[in-house]
Amino acid sequence: MQFKKWIKKSLVILISLLTFGTITPAEFHWLDEANANKRQDNDSFAHSNRKAEIEAPKYSREQILQSFNGQAEMVSYKKFGDKIRPKIEKEFKEMILPKMEEAIGQLSMTLTDEELSQLEVTENPAGGSGERIFNITNNITGKPVIKFHVRREQPPLEGFWFNFHYHTAADQFMSHHDLGKIYWDKNTPPNWRASLH
């Protein structure tokens, strides 16, 4: 506070000297008015923020689940990249995505409305040969509640398959819940998130 007063006094003296006294300190009342207006603006901004927090829209369970399902699809496509997506997108959308949505729906039935509203979809799928597609995480604790993965498999003489599955916090992510498999080819698949360019 002392620093601001010192700056103000220095500014008054400097302007008085530069204008050879034609502008006097009495004419600096506009500085006080500007500061008073700034404090009022800050107070009303803080009040409107508190009001917005109180009136923030609550989303229904259905809206939250729709959002999760949409994000699950988009993050999965991001995981596949431009090289894998065109070849498996149709099967993924028909076979795997509905089972992902079902798993998310089952998870939601174990949660209160408040717990469900605290969840978010992570959007950082693993690249290379990593398994992670996405997690649904509690944004308060930072802990995942369900993890969706895809693993490459190569049974003898069968070529490559993508095994989609998930794990839940209910059993400390130990159990492997199968969502299905999609056949790739006899050739080694490209890395996850690989692009055509």
pLDDT digits (tens, 9 = 90+) for 140-187: 999 999 999 999 999 988 999 999 999 999 999 999 999 999 999 999
Q: For the CA atoms of the chain, what is the radius of gyration?
A: 29
When pLDDT is averaged across residues 12-36 and rounded to a whole number, the result is: 55
Q: What is the pLDDT of residue 40?
A: 56
59 Cβ neighbours under 8 A, 6+ residues apart: 67, 117
Taking the whole predicted model, whether its pTM rises above 0.75 is answered as no
Determine contact, residues 32/8, Cβ cutoff 8 Å.
Answer: no
Q: Considering the chain, what is the average pLDDT of its residues?
A: 83
Q: What is the pLDDT of residue 54?
A: 47
Least confident of 45-49, 63-67, 76-80, 81-85: 45-49
**How confident is residue 78, by pLDDT bands cut at 50, 70 and 90?**
very high
Q: What is the pLDDT of residue 58?
A: 79
Q: How far apart are CA 69 and CA 150, in angstroms?
A: 17
